[in-house]
Amino acid sequence: MKDFKALQKKIGTDFKDEQLLITAFVHRSYLNENSDFKEHNERLEFLGDAVLELVSTDYLYQNYPNPEGELTSWRSALVKTETISDAAKSLGFEDYLFMSRGESKSKGRARQLILANSFEAVIGAIYLDQGYDAAKEFISKNLLKILPEILEKKLYVDPKSQLQELAQRKESITPKYEVLEESGPDHARIFKIGVFLEKRKIGEGEGMSKQLAQQNAAENALKSYK
């Protein structure tokens, strides 16, 4: 049994309509196996995504005098799937997800995406139930707080660019990317891509597009290739 009262305490929000919060955790796949649930979280996610973008943009504008290009890069790093997924994990959101039996076995990028979507859906639920200021407080407490780390570690720099610069400096080699595997149905393909220095594989990553898989492969390669 999922204890949504405990979750409300954890996130510091006392919902007037608890069903909004519950819906934020309902993955589309769950409806296929559970007729008692009528709505999944994609509409809430759509709303929460917009609120998240506004709050993060406003925060960056109000606190940093940097040019638009830099602020855009910082915002992208702050609201990307991996960052939001980590925030959802730290709040224990995995324990509250409603998914089909098949989807509950998902790992890697697919699970990251589900968690990130639930985080945005929770933002949408808070916005509808409590208003903009409450949604802003939730985002500030759980996401904006990591901005200093993003800036200090330059996590906003494109990982493919970082890896190329590093490989060319160390070995005068340009990384190459190759598709290792494709899986999933046509409407939701998952690509696994390897990044190579000549014939040596230094990392791999998954994504719902080849570009995203390449970014993740480069990011994973950077962890070991120093």
186 an active-site residue? Answer: no
Q: Could you tell me if 174 and 189 lie in one domain?
A: yes
Last residue of a domain, one of 122, 152, 182: 152
| pLDDT > 90? residue 92 | yes
| pLDDT > 90? residue 177 | yes
User: What pLDDT band is residue 11 in, cutting at 50, 70 and 90?
Assistant: very high
- Residue 191 pairs in a beta bridge with 182, 207
Higher pLDDT among residues 214 and 110, named by residue: 214
* From 120, 129, 206, 219, the catalytic residue: 120
Two tokens, residue 28: 């589309």
Give 37-56 pLDDT, tens digit per residue: 889 999 999 999 999 999 99
Q: Could you tell me if 141 and 183 lie in one domain?
A: no
170 CB-near residues (< 8 Å, 6+ apart): none
Q: Tell me the CATH number at 94.
A: 1.10.1520.10
Inter-residue contact 109 to 209 (CB < 8 Å):
no
pTM of the predicted model as reported, rounded to 2 decimal places: 0.77
Q: Could you tell me if 37 and 123 lie in one domain?
A: yes
Q: Report the alpha-carbon distance of residue 218 to residue 210 in Å, rounded.
A: 12
36 an active-site residue? Answer: no
Inter-residue contact 8 to 25 (CB < 8 Å):
no
Give 103-140 pLDDT, tens digit per residue: 888 777 788 899 999 999 999 999 999 999 999 999 99
132 CB-near residues (< 8 Å, 6+ apart): 51
pLDDT at 91: 96
Containing structural domain, residue 108: 4-152
